[in-house]
Structure 1
Amino acid sequence: MEAFLTSTLTVALAEIGDKTQLLSLFLATRFRNKWAIIAGILVATLANHGVSAWLGDLIGDYLASATGQWLIGGSFIALGLWLLVPDKDDSEDSAVERYGAFVATTVMFFLAEIGDKTQVATVLLGAQYQSVFWVTVGTTLGMLLANVPVVLAGDYLMRRIPLQPVRILAAGAFIVVGLLQLPLRATFG
């Protein structure tokens, strides 16, 4: 249960203001079928995060060592700092116009997630918890929690939620999680 809850919260926080959230807003303005967009987000996230959690699980034994714990903790701290850097929407109109909402969303989300903060976080969570299923389900739920409201109420929400304070709060949460991962007692105790 811890793997599921931590994965959900981690990705939901990391996704705030992320390029895929901007992509959600972009797609919501282009397509009327909001449920096709949401289904595309679900399929793309399950595929991308499933592979990411599996890779994390694969390297998890190495990361269980003190060196690995430093790497995981440092990576969460780095992700927290990375959250402070705003993402840009670099989508192209022409690619979206050729496909329907579901296909365009699935392809664009899968590609946008490659090397993204939430994918890196998913690999780290897979390594930490060594539970591909619960990490994938949790990170996918976190992605949906952050993106579905944007799809359903896009412009209205983005005008009313101050992004910078939320981004700072999310970054702080990542940094705290990273600090808690560091094996300070084992190293200095």
Structure 2
Amino acid sequence: MRIPRLAATALLWAGLAASTAASAQSARPCLTDSEAEALFQVMLPDVIRELGRACPQQRFLRQPSAAFMARINAGVAPAMPAAQGGIRKLLGPEGQFIAESQLAIPAVRSIVVPAIAQQIQPADCPGLDKIVSNLAPLPPRNLAAVFAALLQLSQNDEKRAPRLPICPMARPR
């Protein structure tokens, strides 16, 4: 299973590079709030597990309840169509075959989840544990929306990387 995921990841990167090159003259596509939230909802089980590995001293993240993980896992299927729509947007017309592939979501997971984990500093762990444990009663869609909003806010900080193609948060009028 590892080789198909690596191949899908390579194809996804190639598709993103091609779509970026093709759209260099036009505005670069970004994920809307709903597309980013759907992608996070699909990745949420992996993100929670990765947070537990990155923060092993934190009780909730290290060992989330079975009921919480069951709810998070149940939220994956309903978000899949919108998540694939976001991938289609990012890849453009040239990458449609990749976006429609059953390996597209696992490939995105293999890129994004480690990128998120790399941003976690040990000093962040107590706060992350508190945030996730306090938000755990939320439905998966709402929890994913919070994670997407936090990522949008962190991208305002130019020093943090990698930047994911999420459209900037709308400013209040």
User: Taking structure 1 as the reference length, what is the TM-score of the superposition?
Assistant: 0.31
User: Taking structure 2 as the reference length, what is the TM-score of the superposition?
Assistant: 0.33
